Amino acid sequence: MGPGPSDVDPRITGALARPTIGHLDPAFIQLMDEIKQLLQFAFQTSNELTLPISAPGSAGMEACFVNLLEAGDKAIICQNGVFGGRMKENVTRAGCEAIMVEDEWGSAVDTAKVAQAIAAHPDAKLLAFVHAETSTGVQSDAYALCQMASAAGMLSIVDTVTGLAGIEVDVDGWGADAVYSGTQKCLSCVPGLSPVTFSQAAVDVIQSRQTPVQSWFLDMNLVMGYWGGGAKRAYHHTAPINALYALHESLTILQEEGLEASWARHARNHEALKAGLETMGLQLVVEAASRLPQLNLVSIPDGVDDAALRTTLLQDYNLEIGAGLGALAGKVWRIGLMGYASNPGNVRLCLAALENTLIGQGLSLAGGKAVAAANAVYASAS
Amino acid sequence: MGPGPSDVDPRITGALARPTIGHLDPAFIQLMDEIKQLLQFAFQTSNELTLPISAPGSAGMEACFVNLLEAGDKAIICQNGVFGGRMKENVTRAGCEAIMVEDEWGSAVDTAKVAQAIAAHPDAKLLAFVHAETSTGVQSDAYALCQMASAAGMLSIVDTVTGLAGIEVDVDGWGADAVYSGTQKCLSCVPGLSPVTFSQAAVDVIQSRQTPVQSWFLDMNLVMGYWGGGAKRAYHHTAPINALYALHESLTILQEEGLEASWARHARNHEALKAGLETMGLQLVVEAASRLPQLNLVSIPDGVDDAALRTTLLQDYNLEIGAGLGALAGKVWRIGLMGYASNPGNVRLCLAALENTLIGQGLSLAGGKAVAAANAVYASAS
């Protein structure tokens, strides 16, 4: 129950362990086509260029930036946590200028500041932001931000590594141009792949570049020759066959449940966790309007030994919760309720383990009330 | 029995399917330390910076080039197959100049030509070559080439994606500076990871760069903070946890067998396959001194329908063999005997399937003699 990787459904590890076949085998190529269609479903897009990058989310981020930017371009980057800073690194390493729009860690991206930056830099090629910040548990308004970018004639890049399948992701509805995610969060698949999708406008930019993409491995002109080539697929790199079996299974599970049902499940378990935490007197850090249900930022009460508590949870309860990052280190916990791990059993385990351990550290709590509060949420929802 | 991915040992798929834990979990960090040590064993190196890149071999190649080169540098690249051409792409996309030393596809790198190139370009920063060419089944003299580079004050980059565990790889003995491999060949692990190792001289170059590495994801200054950080590991990206379980198991299997025993097994199965092929009148393309035992390039006899034969092998025998690439397309087959798939059962299946299918295409062959010839090799070896 950390910020990811989340628990993997045994159906998915079962798929993962199937016999490895060749990356040009006709049966595998059919699987690739199905993965593309399932990703289009998950992202809610008809974008033809929709596929999993054969590397973790950081490489998906890099694929978006190095394909859309050429040296000398300008990009507006929204930073309200760790991953906006990583976007800046991608921009500067591509020989481009990053215009930063900064917000407090724990707050959503301020659209008014973004509007100022767009007005001040109408020559920027793109606007990039994090839809679901894994470092802070905050969601920003992807629809508004993508619409602002396209109204200004800019492309948009959206990080929804933690968002996909946990909250609404609507790539076509937003009008987003390049969106990347990860497999190890609300898809509950193994880490190591990064689903991406590019709009036709983004593809046009990629295909009309003046200079080659600086990364051969991430050059979408080459990657699309393998993933999009129909019968005439060109070898680019050896795909991670077994991880793709797992992704196929995870997306099939998502399709069986349905997108809305998955979002509702994440919301319900968040409500139950929140009720239990508040019964213990613990506070959620992020304001209600921008909370991610799948990643809960909790203030650590005064006098609590953060590291000792997390060690106790891991050793005595086999339960991982996440530490704070950056300025939030030692001040918050990050409790994930992602994908397969977003379930009432985990909510109860986490509340009971936290309550017992806090009592063990000397806090005066009435044992058992937290789980009862969570159960009341489930009872009212059913 | 293609050019990879090879068959994966069920012990390895079993490891792959273990429950996913966090990438900063103490138990996982111990596993990372063990993987480093096992890779040092496999590469025969004491290099501290030895780890698996979280992406396929193409990304391992790119990691070597973008970390060691800075814009404006010059690199001597040996090309005798597909992968030398990919190296050139990496050099030019890093804003550097590639001095090409070209040999025929199917021949080893000519050290005399390399000596000329080094003499003509003493200002080159590095020499790069493919130790084991997956596209042609050729091995080149890694020791001689690395020694020539270091004598000239240049770094060396060695591609041994198909070499590792199939033939001798001796990173410290060669004096190589940057070496990358893949997991899906003679390690018989799932595709998706690229083991790399860097000498101290290479690390010094990386740590004293004037400009940042163009790829954030592949920046070894950051990657080594996660893999080499001891107790103070810094989060860089989410490691592909399950794939690393599999790599650990695959390297453990290699250690149990022993390096020399693994090389001898690959050589023995190659000899048996060769005896059977020659009994059928089929010819190996590569001259004996530079043949890779794990990847056998076979001339397609006149009048044989290449595509139809490979389709029959796949559909009727569940057996994949590789097609020729580039100039060799339609002229050769590539028969892999890699890792777990390098065994007498596969040799016999392949010979019998080829013989039957060639007879079915009208060739006049004495059925059954090929397998007998292979068996004679095994009998004499035991």
Of A22, A93, A192, which has the smallest distance from its Cβ to B214's Cβ?
Answer: A93
Strands B332-336 and B295-299: antiparallel
Determine the residue of chain A that is closest to B135 in CA distance.
Answer: A235
Domains and CATH numbers, chain A: 10-256 (3.40.640.10), 259-381 (3.90.1150.10)
Of B16, B89, B215, nearest to A242 by CB-CB distance is B16
Exposure of B178 by Cβ count < 10 A (0-12 exposed, 13-18 middle, 19+ buried)? buried
Task: Answer whether B16 sits within 8 Å of A18, measured CB to CB.
Answer: no
What residues of chain A lie within 8 A of the CB of B23, using their CB?
A: 5, 191
- Which pLDDT value is given to residue A144? 98
Query: What local confidence, expressed as pLDDT, does residue A377 receive?
Result: 97
CB–CB contact A320 B8 (8 Å): no
Cβ–Cβ < 8 Å for B328, B105: yes
Using a CB-CB cut-off of 8 Å, the residues of chain A touching B240 are 56, 190-192, 243
pLDDT value of position A233: 78
Q: Which residues of chain B have pLDDT under 70?
A: 229-231, 382
Token pair in block for residue B244: 């690393």
Give how far B360 is from chain A: nearest CA, Å.
Answer: 23
> Would you call B17 and A17 a contact, using CB atoms and an 8 Å cutoff?
yes
How far from chain centre, in Å, is Cα B114? 22
Helices B306-317, B344-360: inter-axial angle, 10-degree rounding: 130
Question: pLDDT of B284-298, one tens digit each?
Answer: 999 999 999 999 999
CA distance B305 to B307: 6
Contact assessment for residue A113 and residue A136, using Cβ atoms and an 8 Å cutoff: no
Q: Which of B190, B238, B314 sits opposite A191 (nearest CB)?
A: B238
B77 DSSP β-pair partners: B100, B128
CA distance A208 to chain B (A): 17
Beta-carbon contacts of residue A231 (< 8 Å; ≥ 6 apart): none
Strand partners, A53: A194
Please tell me the distance from the alpha carbon of residue B63 to that of residue B180, in angstroms, as a whole number. 9
* C-alpha pair distances (Å), A351 with each of A100, A279, A374: 39, 10, 9
Q: What is the pLDDT of residue A228?
A: 82
Size of interface A-B (CB pairs under 8 A): 174
Q: Would you give per-residue pLDDT tens digits along chain A (382 residues)?
A: 999 999 999 999 999 999 999 988 889 999 999 999 999 999 999 999 999 999 999 999 999 999 999 999 999 999 999 999 999 999 999 999 999 999 999 999 999 999 999 999 999 999 999 999 999 999 999 999 999 999 999 999 999 999 999 999 999 999 999 999 999 999 999 999 999 999 999 999 999 999 999 999 999 999 998 898 666 778 899 999 999 999 999 999 999 999 999 999 999 999 999 999 999 999 999 999 999 999 999 999 999 999 999 999 999 999 999 999 888 999 999 999 999 999 999 999 999 999 999 999 999 988 889 999 999 999 997 6
Q: How far is A380 from chain B (nearest CA, A)?
A: 33
State which residue of chain A sits closest to B92, comparing Cα positions: A214
Q: Which residues are CB-contacts of A310 (< 8 A; sequence separation ≥ 6)?
A: A320, A321, A323, A333
Amino acid at B264: A
Q: Where are the beta strands (DSSP E) in chain A?
A: 49-53, 74-79, 97-102, 126-130, 132-133, 138-139, 155-159, 178-180, 194-198, 295-299, 322-323, 332-336
Per CB-CB distance under 8 Å, the chain A contacts of B26 are 314
**How many Å apart are CA B148 and CA B7, to the nearest integer?**
36
Give the DSSP H/E element, type plus range, for residue A73: none
For an interface test with A, give the residue of B237, B310, B334 to mutate (most A CBs within 10 A).
Answer: B237
Q: Which residues contact B23 (CB under 8 A, 6 or more apart)?
A: A5, A191, B235, B238, B239, B241
Nearest CA distance, B379 vs chain A (angstrom):
31
Put simply, the answer to whether A238 touches B57 (Cβ < 8 Å) is: yes
Minimum-distance CB partner of A54 among B8, B192, B241: B192
Q: Of the candidates A57, A192, A216, which has its C-beta nearest B93's C-beta?
A: A216
What is the pLDDT, as a whole number, of residue B234? 81
CB–CB contact A243 B239 (8 Å): no
Question: Which positions in chain A touch B55 (Cβ < 8 Å)?
Answer: 54-56, 59, 217
Residue with tokens 């004096």: B175
Identify the H or E element spanning A309: helix A306-317
> Which residues, other chains included, contact A315 with Cβ-Cβ below 8 Å and sequence gap of 6+?
none
CA A110 – CA A118 distance, rounded (Å): 13
Angle formed by the axes of helices B57-68 and B82-93, to 10°? 40
**Of the candidates B13, B22, B192, which has its C-beta nearest A2's C-beta?**
B22
What CA–CA distance (Å, rounded) separates A343 from A272? 10
Residue among A160, A147, A136 nearest A290 (CA): A136
CB neighbour list of residue B340: distance below 8 Å, 6 or more residues apart: B6, B7, B8, B9, B12, B188
How confident is the model at residue B230, as a pLDDT? 62
Kindly provide the ipTM of the predicted complex, given to two decimals.
0.96
Task: State the CB neighbour count (10 A cutoff) for residue B172.
Answer: 14
**pLDDT tens digits, B71-99:** 999 999 999 999 999 999 999 999 999 99
CA torsion, points A78, A81, A86, A89, in degrees to nearest 10? 60
Please give the pLDDT value at position B152. Answer: 98
Facing A59 at nearest CB: one of B6, B55, B90: B55
